Amino acid sequence: MPMRRCALCGGALPKNSSGKRRYCSDNCRKLASKRRWGAATVSSPPAGAGGDDTEVSYADLLRVSLDALRRAVQDPDTPAQAIAALTKQMLAVGKEINALEEEARADPLAEGVRADDARDESFDPGTV
């Protein structure tokens, strides 16, 4: 009897495995599942999230999450019972983004004014 092969990597399936088994390991099974469910639909992280030294802001990550939620709601394959939870999560993420933007507008330090640039008045011991 010929050796059965993994549907993903082509490795040998374990001996005495079920006739329904298609993958040699859980890793291959999970990777195949991710590919089937459309790795292309997963949003790429913002610039700088790939391990280089650039910093990714929390607001950028929230925007990526909001885009992923929006795509999930618009996807015709999304179950109807999941739509309510997804839209509720979209609203929560949107509110958090708005709160961060409002906080940035109200914070003078966010506008580029740094504490190191501030000048102290000269000390006058007579005023004490």
φ, ψ of residue 5 to 5 degrees: the values are -120, 155
Q: pLDDT tens for the chain, 128 residues: list them.
A: 677 888 888 888 888 888 888 888 888 888 888 887 765 454 555 555 555 555 677 888 888 889 988 988 888 888 888 889 999 999 999 999 998 888 877 766 555 556 666 677 788 888 87
Q: Which of 97, 102, 99 is nearest to 62 (CA)?
A: 97
pTM (two decimals): 0.44
pLDDT of the residue at 95? 92
Q: Are 34 and 45 in contact (CB under 8 A)?
A: no
Q: What is the pLDDT of residues 15-29, one digit of tens each?
A: 888 888 888 888 888
Alpha-carbon distance of 19 to 22, in angstroms, equals: 8
In which region does residue 118 sit, left (phi positive, over 0), alpha (psi from -120 to 50) or beta (all else)?
A: beta
Q: Which of 27, 63, 23 is nearest to 47 (CA)?
A: 63
